[in-house]
Amino acid sequence: MAMKLLLVALLALAFALAVLASDPSPLQDFCVADDSSKVFVNGAVCKNMNDVTADDFYTSGLDKPGNTVNNVRSNVTAVNVNKIPGLNTLGISLARIDFAPNGLNPPHTHPRATEILVVLEGELYVGFVTSNIGQTNRLFTKNLKKGDVFVFPQGLIHFQLNTGKYNAVALAGLSSQNPGVITIAKAVFGSTPPISDDVLAKAFQVDKRLVDRLQAQQWTDNNN
């Protein structure tokens, strides 16, 4: 009997943790983020219902291409709770991604969201890498054309590369009001303060001088 009660308690705890692991769920029609509040909560404090307007659920500009004049020749225009306060507690956001020819959205992760991407124009080579399955990190890739859709599971490293001769555009939906993004190269070689070159040299099995060059290059990119 005690074992059954323990099992029930563990299942209840697992269910509770699974619920808490996602964005906070709305307990009313909406909870528009109050940017003026100084109270810190997981998500954002709700604006008074009487102060909410249609503009709290609106933004514009996704018809305009992002600036791809940069080292990776791509640009991400995010539309999350910071752009639309009405997204607070709704567990959804989106992004427009523009690619010049050979443009790359570098390997990165979204710690709080699954991503579903649709190609609006052009051709993309996309993929994601799994977590350690046994001793293997499996790579799943696909060549996409206009109208094609691909899913990147939450938290997994993924990328998109424009393989066409012309500009490409994609639209991504994400299952969080604030998905977060960790760009691998920037996080590893451009953190503040920097990760020890001894650590990185051993992790990547390369000479420390190469690590120093990569860190210097990432610092330059971060400050340009």
What is the distance in angstroms between the CA of the first residue and the CA of the last residue of the chain?
A: 65
Asked if residue 105 lies in contact with residue 76, where contact means CB atoms within 8 angstroms, the answer is yes
Q: Which of 56, 7, 9 is nearest to 30 (CA)?
A: 56
Q: Is 158 annotated as a binding residue?
A: yes
Q: Is 102 annotated as a binding residue?
A: no
Q: Is 75 annotated as a binding residue?
A: no
Rounded-to-integer distance, Cα 72 and Cα 177, Å = 26
Rounded-to-integer distance, Cα 203 and Cα 179, Å = 28
Q: Is 108 annotated as a binding residue?
A: yes
52-55: long-range pairs with CB below 8 Å, 24+: 52/86
Which residues sit in the known binding site?
105, 108, 110, 115, 158
Which residues sit in the known binding site for Mn(2+)?
108, 110, 115, 158
Which residues sit in the known binding site for oxalate?
105, 110, 115
